[in-house]
Structure 1
Amino acid sequence: MSATLGDAGAPDSRHHPDLPPFRAERRSVGEDESRRANGPDWDRYADEYQATHGAFLGDAGFVWGPEGLTEAEAGVLGPVAGRDVLEVGSGAGQCSRWIRTQGGRSIGLDLSHRQLQHGRRLDDSTGVSVPAVLGTATALPFADGSFDVVFSSFGALQFVRDLDVAVAEAARVLRPGGRFAFSITHPTRWMFPDDPTEDGLVASQSYWDRTPYVEVDDATGDVTYVEHHRTLGDWVEVLAGSGFRISRLLEPEWPAGHDRVWGGWSAVRGRLTPGTAIVAADLG
């Protein structure tokens, strides 16, 4: 999940130890600043991310979130055989590679060059190649009506400021009746600290505070990471504004016996509150 948990923008991106000292803030950040921060952040983090989570994701696997729900189980995208599929925030292309094994024609897009390099490594080791391009969700480098399905598994959507532009871009490159699907941190999680222990079960901030979470390098003053919060109502409004009709909303429960800790995700929290939301919406 790239930021699928696949990669660029995955849920535990704030927990890699090699970052320089930084301060965390809540303040407004523009689209350009978000992009300049998050691309290099994922370039720095890609090696550790793949080493830590690669086995869980599978080299050609499709996992929607830390709970471990797979596309084979959930069927969020619908049939993919013979269909043109775009993954936005594809990371190393694990999800797109799985789609190729199911007969789909998948293409990846990611903001991190290093994640795309990991994709080439997995292409070679699996023998399943996924074409991929370096790009951003707010300016997809594809013609109108190119795809039957566009999806993002913990990908770019939480990391762009101009969400309305990103959703409009997904609508533009979809064919009539096409499906747009994505997984995100469940919006209610923004009320709680990013802590997998019992301390993370106490609400400490407003669900309606949409001020972005920003990290700033102490030495340089540069913004090094940005994440944007939207309420469930915000997501409904922006999808409807681009002509989408929501067909499914999944909130995966934490499976019994699943003991993986992934950033702020854990069994301690997962037994009580949702950590992931998965949305499927159809165009027109």
Structure 2
Amino acid sequence: MWGCVRGSDLKGAALAALFAALGAATSAWAEEPARVVSMNLCTDQLALALADPDQIVSLSHFATDPTMSVSWKQAEDYPLNYGRAEEISILHPDLVLADTWSNPDTIRMLRTLGIEVEQLPPGTSLPEIRARIATTGELLGHPDRAAKMLADFDARLAAIEKPAPGLRAAIIGPSGYGYGPRTLEGQILEMAGFSNVVSGPGLDWGGRLPLEDLVMDRPDLVVVGGSMKGQGTSRAQEVLAHPVLRDLPVVRGLRDASWTCGAPAMLTAVAELAALGRQIEKEELTQ
């Protein structure tokens, strides 16, 4: 009798555990968004990397621009949006991915209509970049994929051979704007092993950098260019052709779509900068 009761109890416990597991799986499946819209270039890239292909119903209109998006080819399979509430709402999304700086009127209207909108802050520091990846994975229902992305990110970053400490660099854009340590450009410099010339009080996010100051600072490297490759010319960009830059160690055409977002693709930019740093070291040793 005891053995029969005990066996019956064990069988019941096993069935209860099985039903609990099935319930948890069903709950997790139900919470996974089935219709995801991204209205920001950087959330586009994370959605394409972490979501199931059939979860995505629309991406931002920047997604297919090869000068801005590293995932432009993959993005061509999806409809695009221009961040307007009207066009997004008719897609009946159950999740909209946006940036902190996305159109506030669109965000407000979508939320008024009862549509879930998640605004992800732009990742500039390494902790912010990691948090953005993890949060996106959770929102899409694929935290395991985000964890793998982070592990791969850490492994790639650790494998980049940096120059010895001491090299100094500056990144300047149109109108002589210099990128400070709190910008993504500044983070890429730091991750590549350079000290940022554009730093100090009031320059966390950068600011106008007089070319006279840049010449006096004598950095080991000056990365010059617009926001991305392929941009047209303007009066603001004429500063970048100033003759004084000929006397500085300037590199042009380096900034491409890998510089756009705080995501794994940025490690391509980090690796290229680190390689330039090692080259500078070798040249200094041979002088």
* TM-score exceeds 0.5: no
Higher normalized strand content (fraction of residues):
1
Higher normalized helix content (fraction of residues):
2
Structure having the higher Rg: 2
Q: Which has the higher contact order (CA 8 A, sep 6+)?
A: 1
TM-score relative to the length of structure 2: 0.32
